Structure 1
C-alpha cells in the first residue's frame, strides 16, 4: 500500500473531513462561550468533567484522568486548573487518604457559571452540527455523532 493508493487517499480524505467537522464545532462553541460567558471551550469542558465528580468511591478524578477526559496533556490541564482556580471557579485540596494526591472541585461560582453556560454550549453545538449536516462530505459524520449520543456514557 502506498500513499497514492486509493484506499489510503480515501482514508486521508475521511480523516480530513473529521478534522474539519471538529474544528468547525469547536470554533463555534468557543466563540459562543467566549462571547456570552468569557469561558473557553476547554474551560467549559474541564468544569463540566469536574462537576460530575462525587464523594463516593472513585468519585474524584486524578489529574491524569481529568487530562484524558478533556483531551489535554497533564501539564496543560494543570495550567488550565490553575487559571480557573485563580478566577475562583475551582479549588484544590489534599486527598484525605493519600497526601500525595490533590483533588480539584468546582466552586459554587464555577457551578453557577457552568449552569449558565450549558444552554449556550448546547445551542452552539446543535447549530454547528446543523450547518455541517448540510455539507455532503460532513453529513455522514454528523449522522454518526448523533447516533452515538445514546451510546456515550459520561466521563
Structure 2
C-alpha cells in the first residue's frame, strides 16, 4: 500500500468528512447550550447519560462506564462530575453493596435543567444536521446518522 493508494485516500477523505461533521455539530451544540442554559455540550451529555440510570441490577453506572459513555478519560469525567455537583446538578453516594464504589445521580435541579435543555439540544442538532446535509461531502454521513435506530 502506498500513500497514493485510492482506498487509503478514500478512507482518509471519509475520516476528514466525519471529523468535520463532528466538529460542526459539537461547536453548534456548545454555542446553543451555553447561551441558553449555561451548559457545555459535555455537561449536557453527562446529565443525559446519568439521567437514564435506574434502580435495580445494573441500573447505576460506574465511573468508567460513565467516562466511556461521554467519551472522556476517567479523570476528566471525575472533574466534570465535581463541577456539576458543585452547581447542585449531581450528587454522589457510596454504593450500598460495595463501599469502594461511588455512584452519581442527577438531582432534581439537574433533571429540571435537562428537561429544559433537551428540546433546545435536539432542535440545534436538527439544525446543524440540516445545514450539513446541503454539503455533498457531508450528506452521506448525515443520512447514515438519520438511519441509526433510536
TM over 0.5: yes
Mapped to 2, the partners of 1:23 and 1:120 lie a distance apart of: 19
| 2:52 match | 52
Mapped to 1, the partners of 2:111 and 2:53 lie a distance apart of: 12
Structure 2 matches for 1:61-76, cutoff 5 A? 61-76=61-76
SS of the residue aligned with 1:35?
Answer: helix
| 2:137 match | 137
Structure 2 matches for 1:36-51, cutoff 5 A? 36-51=36-51
Instruction: Give the aligned length.
Output: 150
Segments ≥4 residues shifted beyond 6 Å: none
SS of the residue aligned with 1:75?
Answer: helix
Mapped to 1, the partners of 2:50 and 2:128 lie a distance apart of: 25
Mapped to 1, the partners of 2:78 and 2:4 lie a distance apart of: 42
Structure 2 matches for 1:56-135, cutoff 5 A? 56-135=56-135
| 1:7 match | 7
TM-score by length of 1: 0.95
SS of the residue aligned with 1:109?
Answer: helix
Mapped to 2, the partners of 1:88 and 1:20 lie a distance apart of: 34
Mapped to 2, the partners of 1:22 and 1:3 lie a distance apart of: 25
- What is the CA deviation profile of residues 72-114 of structure 1, one whole-angstrom value per residue up to 9, with x for unaligned ones? 0101000000000000000000000000000000000000000
How far does residue 7 in structure 1 lie from its aligned partner after superposition? Answer: 1.1
How far does residue 65 in structure 1 lie from its aligned partner after superposition? Answer: 0.2
SS of the residue aligned with 1:81?
Answer: helix
How far does residue 2 in structure 1 lie from its aligned partner after superposition? Answer: 1.5
How far does residue 63 in structure 1 lie from its aligned partner after superposition? Answer: 0.2
